[in-house]
């Protein structure tokens, strides 16, 4: 009976995973199917498989907006923001984890409040800071979030992971005469590689999908990123909906691939026996 019950539990867990994956994949499947419809037809009223699927919408997307240049901008922005955010978030999380409990709680509460504030509420203040610092108009506002770890969530994740390490680890580092920076680099970082991969995936997705900063703070079209291009495609008339959906598919693929690779590494690292 126990074996049968265990099999039922395992089967139920597997079915639950399949249902969750199906719920999250359904919009992506519909997105891909819609991008294969010929341009010029009225939008379907419901789910409808294209009778004459075509990839012409993808070529048209590159003709309507310079998606190639925008993708290059998004790539180099992510290449700078992700590693810088990992360093800043790891430093902040390490510092919060080594603080006494009361001070650490203050830091965590501040990070939670920062997460809760809508980004649009800070737009005016950020614009004033960028103008005063001379960053307005250039790519600086796209890179500036890395100085704050891109999102306060990364600081919270690192702080939680560092806090979970055994206290004996810090005692041994102190006895070995390691400085705080050396302890972070030689002890804390190697023991939190799984969390680093997970945070890297989070920061990449947040950075790649950031449409607020390039729209509000970088008016120069030379620095436009992929989300701006997809937003421009969204202004096309209804018969050109497949072109917009094709651009959305192209914009969605890089974060999906990056998140899958990094989260797979994170899952593998978490699963390693100690």
pLDDT of residue 150: 87
* Predicted TM-score (pTM) of this structure: 0.84
CATH architecture, domain 16-270? Orthogonal Bundle (1.10)
Q: Give the pLDDT of residue 23.
A: 77
User: HSE of 107 in the Cβ direction (CA atoms, 13 Å)?
Assistant: 23
Residue 90, pLDDT > 90, answer yes
Domain locations along the chain: 16-270
Evaluate whether 57 touches 36 at the Cβ level (below 8 Å).
yes
| Distance from C-alpha of 191 to C-alpha of 165, rounded to nearest angstrom | 8
Indicate whether 211 pLDDT > 70. yes
Q: In this structure, are residues 228 and 69 in contact, taking their beta carbons and an 8 Å threshold? A: no
Exposed/middle/buried for residue 24 (C-beta within 10 Å: 0-12, 13-18, 19+) = exposed
| Residue 177: how many other CB atoms lie within 10 Å | 7
Is residue 105 within 8 Å of residue 164, measured between CB atoms? no
Banded model confidence at residue 110, pLDDT cuts 50, 70, 90: confident
Kindly state the percentage of the chain with pLDDT values over 90: 36
């Amino acid at each position: 009976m126990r074996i049968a019950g265990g099999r039922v539990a395992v089967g139920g867990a597997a079915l639950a995973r399949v249902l969750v994956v199906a719920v999250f994949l359904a919009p992506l499947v519909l997105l891909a199917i819609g991008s294969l419809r010929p341009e010029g037809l009225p939008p379907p009223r419901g789910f409808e498989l294209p009778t004459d699927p075509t990839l012409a919408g993808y070529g048209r997307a590159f003709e309507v907006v310079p998606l190639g240049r925008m993708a290059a901008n998004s790539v180099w922005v992510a290449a700078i923001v992700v590693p810088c955010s990992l360093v800043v978030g790891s430093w902040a999380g390490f510092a919060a984890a080594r603080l006494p409990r009361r001070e650490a709680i203050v830091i965590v509460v501040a990070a939670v409040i920062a997460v809760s504030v809508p980004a649009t509420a800070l737009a005016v203040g950020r614009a004033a800071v960028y103008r005063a610092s001379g960053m307005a108009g250039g790519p600086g506002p796209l890179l500036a979030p890395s100085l704050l770890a891109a999102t306060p969530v990364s600081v919270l994740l690192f702080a939680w992971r560092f806090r979970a390490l055994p206290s004996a680890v810090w005692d041994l580092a102190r006895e070995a005469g390691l400085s705080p920076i050396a302890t972070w680099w030689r002890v804390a970082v190697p023991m939190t590689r799984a969390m680093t991969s997970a945070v890297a995936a989070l920061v990449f997705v947040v950075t790649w999908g950031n449409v607020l900063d390039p729209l509000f703070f970088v008016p120069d079209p030379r620095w436009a990123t992929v989300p701006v291009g997809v937003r421009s495609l969204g202004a096309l008339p209804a018969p050109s909906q497949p072109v917009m959906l094709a651009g959305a598919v192209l914009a969605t693929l890089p974060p999906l691939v990056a998140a899958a690779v990094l989260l797979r590494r994170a899952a593998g690292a978490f699963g390693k026996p100690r």
